[in-house]
Structure 1
């Protein structure tokens, strides 16, 4: 008999749409299931109209928080029991979102830390690729430092020349074109002593997956958030 009381996961997406679609695919593929009814009931709110988060962080764009709260209200109304946000930079407004909802919001950086631990890395030097906004807000550096990691990032020139254009390629659906620059940036971090590279923008795993696998550990934040969502669901099922 189907469990009609199974808690629904809310996904606040659209930032960008392809990353949200990939999150849904990975959530499905990573869930231990033998039939449709074993999967996590999920509501995806994919709204690409949310203002650019990096521009907002720079002070040159519209505040995305009202749009994020609109999505959260929609997920609340749909009866969701928790929210996952497959966009790293949106977590710069995490406190504002948490203050506006009764629902738990799974933090993508905490999910990434669990992914690093799953890979056998519980400290040490970690490379981080992300948007300019994510790096400037130090979303990863603050939380990972507390867990014993030393986080290193590309320099300004590498961000301008390599990382930001590659993220823009993925957002424009030019996924294959993003592979070489993103892999170049990741290899530079490893050359500087990183034991693993966190893909701290949900567009980046799409680009990295478009070519040969990396010869070093990668923490994919889409997969990390999907696994955190599965753990939340399993905990609720066992409650």
Structure 2
């Protein structure tokens, strides 16, 4: 921990997308027990919407994220968090480049799905995120339910509309419909596998438990930074 404070300094690789990052930072604030300014966690955030699109094959996302992580360490960060599911495909590179531990949001969500008692988890996410979740859930003995190809394409259109600022009734209706399809397909728990999903989908909108990975990440960041939980090992 830093000499000036009894809590760790958190570095956030953000901007993927900006609204989801701001929502995550608000959660950090809400979950931190504080009576005055100085009780809060120091957060150094790189909100970089210029990072290449994680959903475009061949993009240079990993190297950009590695540079961001290194800069965050140089600025004083002692622990990293990244409120973007798909970007976790570059988690190892980020940790190697910075030498800092990154709290694994995918792992937190998969763990929560397993603890729900479900056998099959539905995931609303981009292709890269679905690949990660399939692996993490399988490691815990869970199957994964995803949208069929045509509906996955429709989901991505909705996702980009949300990234464009559309948080209106139609975006919410569409997201509720995708969630309902996964439940109908056998999902016993749902994971919001893109950080934009919880911006328009709430727990009361679905018939099963809705896991919000960014919410879990915020809670874990607060716990680790304040010393309530142990610091994860780099690469773990």
> Are 1:18 and 1:171, in contact at CA under 8 Å, matched by a contact in 2?
yes
Structure 1 residues 50-100: Cα deviation after superposition (integer angstroms, max 9, x where no partner): 010110xx33xx311221112112210111111000011111112221221
Distance 1:10 1:236 in 2: 18
| Counterpart residue number, 2:46 | 45
Query: Would the aligned equivalents of 1:7 and 1:236 in 2 still touch at CA under 8 Å?
Result: no
Compute the TM-score of the two structures, normalised by the length of structure 2: 0.88
Aligned to 2:72: 75
How many angstroms does 1:224 deviate by?
1.4
Q: Summarize the alignment of residues 72-221 of structure 1 with structure 2, pairs less than 5 Å apart.
A: 72-116=69-113, 120-135=115-130, 138-161=131-154, 163-176=155-168, 177-209=170-202, 213-221=205-213
Q: Tell me if structure 2 keeps the 8 A contact 1:122–1:148.
A: no
Structure 1 position 122, deviation (Å): 4.2
SS of the residue aligned with 1:44?
strand
Q: Name the CA distance, whole Å, in 2 between partners of 1:5 and 1:237.
A: 14
Q: TM-score, normalised by structure 1?
A: 0.87
**How many matched pairs?**
228
Q: Is the 8 A contact 1:152 1:194 kept in 2?
A: yes
Q: Distance in 2 between matches of 1:172 and 1:32?
A: 33
Match of 1:225 in 2: 217
Pairwise CA distance, 1:7: 1.1
Q: Deviations over 1:5-28 (max 9, x none)?
A: 421011100111111000001111
Moved more, 34-43 or 197-206: 34-43
Q: Which runs of 5+ in 1 are unaligned?
A: none
Q: Distance in 2 between matches of 1:126 and 1:151?
A: 5
Match of 1:19 in 2: 20
SS at match of 1:134: helix
Q: CA contact under 8 A between 2:119 and 2:141: conserved in structure 1?
A: yes
Aligned to 1:36: 37
Q: Distance in 2 between matches of 1:115 and 1:34?
A: 30
Preserved CA contact (<8 Å) 2:110 2:133: no
Structure 2 unaligned segments of length 5 or more: list them. Answer: 232-236
Alignment RMSD = 2.2
Relative to structure 1, the CA distance from residue 36 to residue 213 in structure 2 (aligned partners, 3 Å threshold; closer, same or farther) is farther
| 8 Å CA contact retained: 1:122, 1:149 | no
**In 2, Cα distance between the equivalents of 1:156 and 1:238?**
41
Name the residue aligned to 2:234: none
